[in-house]
Amino acid sequence: MSTVMIVGATRGIGLELTKQYSEEGDKVIACARDVSAASQLDKLVASSENIRIEELDIAEASSIESAASRIGKDSIDSIIIVAGYVGGMPENQTIDNIDLDEWHRTLNINTIGPLLVARAFKENLSSSGNGNLMILSSQLAASTWPMGGMYVYSTTKAAVSKVGQILALDWAQDPIIVSIMHPGWVKTDMGGPAAEITAEESASGIRNVLSGLKKEDSGNFYKWNGEIHPW
Ligand SMILES: NC(=O)c1ccc[n+]([C@@H]2O[C@H](COP(=O)([O-])OP(=O)(O)OC[C@H]3O[C@@H](n4cnc5c(N)ncnc54)[C@H](OP(=O)(O)O)[C@@H]3O)[C@@H](O)[C@H]2O)c1
């Protein structure tokens, strides 16, 4: 049994990861931006003793620090940073129509927040002796996925992929594996109903990849099906 922290557990892939890990008997610290607006997570918690909800708004440094001080120094085996924001409608992410406030807001959620979470919980991961930090990025972050528009989403995800790669280098001597994950095009609020795979398929693929990672894999960019994603 391990302890897994899911950052962004209220909906979509994060909710499904919480469900699957808790059903496997793992202890899940399920982090929600706003615990009073987490009805699907509340429902899951009602039928599982393995889930504990903590409030953590990844866009707010003070919220990350508060969560870290409530959780304390207990060891955490895996942290999966799922929280993400698309940054507005595609038509509002074009060269001629871009909302700069939205871009800054999205940078806080998608890029800066994950680094602050990594910093705040580093000791928890280290004390597990074999910690995993996984950050959900996107194929849109890759230079091998050229797609026009989507400036806000694509750049903030490209930047967080780089955050993951740098963390892997900076933590090379620590007992922590850092990985970056493209979860697939997934049928969630973000991915929409036309997407290719379900949240169940994505989450079970992510769990499978994470469980097989070794220290020498640190810094790699994966797809949910275990393939290496080109940068
Ligand atoms: N779905 C896809 O096709 C796809 C493809 C590539 C990458 N991804 C990435 O995979 C991750 C999960 O995607 P998804 O499809 O499950 O998205 P989703 O259904 O839109 O859910 C987004 C999750 O992020 C949380 N979140 C947003 N802002 C937050 C904040 N400030 N603090 C804490 N949590 C916050 C949301 O919480 P609230 O309920 O409180 O808003 C929600 O739990 C994202 O990082 C996304 O960019 C998804």
Which pTM was predicted?
0.98
Q: Is 26 in the pocket of ligand 1 (CB under 6 A)?
A: no
CA of 14 to the centre of ligand 1 (A): 7
DSSP run (H or E) holding 130: none
Q: Is residue 206 part of a domain?
A: yes
Q: Is 189 in the pocket of ligand 1 (CB under 6 A)?
A: yes
Structure confidence at residue 150 (pLDDT): 94
Q: Is residue 84 part of a domain?
A: yes
Q: Is residue 69 part of a domain?
A: yes
Q: What gap in Å lies between CA 63 and CA 84, rounded to an integer?
A: 16
Structure confidence at residue 108 (pLDDT): 98
- Please state the rounded mean pLDDT for residues 195-223: 98
Q: What angle do CA 117, 119, 123 make, to 5 degrees?
A: 105
Q: What gap in Å lies between CA 152 and CA 98, rounded to an integer?
A: 8
pLDDT band for position 8 (cuts 50, 70, 90): very high
Q: What gap in Å lies between CA 210 and CA 22, rounded to an integer?
A: 16
Domain of 27, in residue numbers:
3-223
Are 164 and 137 contacting, i.e. CB atoms less than 8 angstroms apart?
Answer: yes
Instruction: Give the tens place of pLDDT for each residue, 136-187.
Output: 999 999 999 988 999 999 999 999 999 999 999 999 999 999 999 999 999 9
Instruction: Return all residues near 98 (Cβ < 8 A) that are at least 6 apart.
Output: 92, 151, 152
Q: Is residue 189 part of a domain?
A: yes
Q: Is residue 142 part of a domain?
A: yes
Assign residue 82 the CATH number of its domain: 3.40.50.720
Structure confidence at residue 189 (pLDDT): 97
Q: Is residue 207 part of a domain?
A: yes
Question: Hey, whose CA ends up nearest to atom 11 of ligand 1?
Answer: 82
Burial of 197 (0-12, 13-18, 19+ CB in 10 A): middle
Structure confidence at residue 146 (pLDDT): 84
Candidate from 6, 13, 179 with most ligand 1 atoms within 8 A of CB, to mutate: 13
Structure confidence at residue 75 (pLDDT): 97
Q: Is residue 211 part of a domain?
A: yes
Instruction: Give the tens place of pLDDT for each residue, 97-146.
Output: 999 999 999 999 999 999 999 999 999 999 999 999 999 999 999 999 98
Q: What gap in Å lies between CA 135 and CA 112, rounded to an integer?
A: 12
Q: What gap in Å lies between CA 18 and CA 14, rounded to an integer?
A: 6
Taking the CA of residue 10 as reference, the ligand 1 atom at the shortest distance is: 43
Q: Are strands 93-94 and 97-98 parallel, antiparallel or unpaired?
A: antiparallel
pLDDT band for position 188 (cuts 50, 70, 90): very high
Taking the CA of residue 195 as reference, the ligand 1 atom at the shortest distance is: 3
Q: Please count the structural domains in the chain.
A: 1
pLDDT band for position 52 (cuts 50, 70, 90): very high
Q: Is residue 158 part of a domain?
A: yes
Structure confidence at residue 142 (pLDDT): 96
